[in-house]
Structure 1
Amino acid sequence: MLSCTACSHSISSYAVTFRFPPDQRYPSLYSGDYGLTAEVSQLAEFPLDLFLFFMPKKFWRQVAKESNRYFLHNLTACVDRMYEKQRIPGKKSREEFIVREAKKDEIEPHKIMHVLGLLMARMLNPQCRRFRDHWTSVRVGVVPRGTSNAYMPRHRFEHIMANLHFTNSADVRAASDRAWKVRSVIDTLQERFLRGYITPPFISFDEGIIPSRNRQNPTWHTSM
């Protein structure tokens, strides 16, 4: 281990030998205003409006469309699993399961927003209880009874979570695009950030380092 004296000498030696590069001038460099646009600045005090600026309603309508598509595409496989998992084999037929599942209401954009709100509420108030305990009719530990019932029935919440999709998994681009499952999210955020923020002429990029304490990892750090 280096002593404090050795460290100080090393730092001072580096400071003496290091010289900043000469100032560079770049012709035609952007010289206009930059930072937040007026459109997004007006929404700074309205969290929901600001959220819908970056993730607009048309995006959530598309998410609802893809989620319903996924549900219908996998309906037969879902019914087969339900039929096989019956506590009493053969008590209900596959046709009965199909009729029951087909009666479920379509997933709507505002219902997805309700699901997102419940997930955020859980994130802000984390605890070790199961998520479904928020719908119980009696108090469970620190979770009061019926917390989420006022916003959405539990079976509806679970239905949306099980079928939530942002893109069409059957699209041919899914085979070549590794980020296809969230491609619509990425494209929407890129488009909206261009409307909400004007980049300055100079941008500094830094590299973050995550320390790894796993004994099986041969390296000390992993670059982000």
Structure 2
Amino acid sequence: MWEAIAGASDGYFLEKLDERVTAQHAKQKARNEKHPDFQVQTSEQIKEFLQSTVGISGRGLCVFIASTITPKREKFEHHWCTTGGGVIPRGYFNLYMTCDRFAHISLNLHFSSNGDRCVASDRASKKQRSIINVSQETFQVNFIPPSIMAFDEPCYRRDRVIGASGPSGFDLVVTDRFYTSVALAMQLLTMKFYSIGTIMMNGRGLCEAILPPKKNSKSVSNKRSKMIEQDTYQVVKFLHVPVMEDVR
């Protein structure tokens, strides 16, 4: 499977070679206009340099995946830094794969060939079919089913998901507490997007009636008061935008 992915990735690299040569040549010409000392390479020189790139191998893909698993707070390129401290020793990744090599695989990674005749008829499924087949065969070889198995695959009616009247023409946007705001929700509504999220108490446009009371000009803790019954909540509807609600 890994060799097949490597072959498809190399094929994609050759497929896009002329397009990338043209783009790099145009970029060098633009840089030469700003910096006359910069020497522009010919299209033939750029193409010859790109063609000298070593092909992708199955082992290289395994190292590529191993590099992506290790987290990094800042830029991913900092894995190859030779200065600065951290949990991973400096220059550790460069022992197994250079930064340029990692970028080359990231740019050309393909799981199946675009030249397959089946792709023209059903591009979405055919390009993934070879990977799905290998995964299914590997699963069947290694998985030994027990004597008793339980299946939980519920199937909901279409009208329970989108309503009996059919799709409403709106999409849904889910935001976290930092980006959620009343102004953003109203703007998304004009673009036919519903939105849902947890808003911060200092969010602009938030109804003050559902905010916790203040004591000495300071907000009281937002924890549930003992005077409020369990399993209760407050709902506030906007007068001018009835479809918008605040829930606390």
Q: Where on the TM-score scale, by shorter chain, does this alignment land: which range?
A: 0.5 to 0.7
Residues 1:74 and 1:212: Cα distance change in structure 2 (over 3 Å) = closer
Q: Does 1:156 align with 2:101?
A: yes
- Give the structure with the higher percent helix: 1
The residue that corresponds to 1:205 in the other structure is: 152
Counterpart code for 2:75: R
Q: Does 1:191 align with 2:137?
A: yes
The correspondence of residues 67-78 of structure 1 with structure 2, limited to 5 A, is 67-78=9-20
Residues 1:131 and 1:218: Cα distance change in structure 2 (over 3 Å) = closer
Residues 1:80 and 1:121: Cα distance change in structure 2 (over 3 Å) = same
Counterpart code for 2:132: I
The residue that corresponds to 1:46 in the other structure is: none
Residue by residue over 1:59-116, the C-alpha shift from the partner in whole angstroms, topping out at 9 and shown as x without a partner, is 1111111111111121111111111112226711111100110111111111111101
Structure 2 CA distance, aligned partners of 1:140 and 1:163?
31
CA contact (8 A) 1:133 1:140 kept: no
Structure 1 CA distance, aligned partners of 2:109 and 2:139?
24
Structure 1 SS opposite 2:6? helix
Structure 2 SS opposite 1:168? coil
Residues 1:136 and 1:194: Cα distance change in structure 2 (over 3 Å) = same
Counterpart code for 1:217: Y
Point out which structure has higher relative CO (alpha carbons under 8 A, 6+ apart).
1
Q: Using structure 1 for the length normalisation, give the TM-score.
A: 0.60
Structure 2 CA distance, aligned partners of 1:164 and 1:105?
14
Q: Does 1:66 align with 2:12?
A: no
Gaps of 5+ in 2: 34-38, 157-171, 176-184, 186-192, 197-248
Structure 1 SS opposite 2:94? coil
CA contact (8 A) 1:138 1:144 kept: no
The residue that corresponds to 2:112 in the other structure is: 167
The correspondence of residues 44-123 of structure 1 with structure 2, limited to 5 A, is 59-86=1-28, 87-88=31-32, 91-122=40-71
Structure 2 CA distance, aligned partners of 1:83 and 1:94?
6
CA contact (8 A) 1:133 1:143 kept: no
Residue by residue over 1:140-182, the C-alpha shift from the partner in whole angstroms, topping out at 9 and shown as x without a partner, is 7877632311111111111111111110112232231423333
- How many residues get paired? 157
Gaps of 5+ in 1: 1-58, 220-224
The residue that corresponds to 2:194 in the other structure is: 217
Offset at residue 137 of structure 1 (A): 2.5
Structure 2 CA distance, aligned partners of 1:212 and 1:202?
37
Counterpart code for 1:107: I
**RMSD between aligned residues:** 3.1
* 2:79 counterpart (118, 134, 140): 134
Residues 1:158 and 1:168: Cα distance change in structure 2 (over 3 Å) = same
**Same amino acid, percent of matched pairs:** 27
Structure 2 CA distance, aligned partners of 1:213 and 1:133?
31
Structure 2 CA distance, aligned partners of 1:167 and 1:182?
7
Residues 1:218 and 1:135: Cα distance change in structure 2 (over 3 Å) = closer
Offset at residue 207 of structure 1 (A): 4.6
Counterpart code for 1:100: F
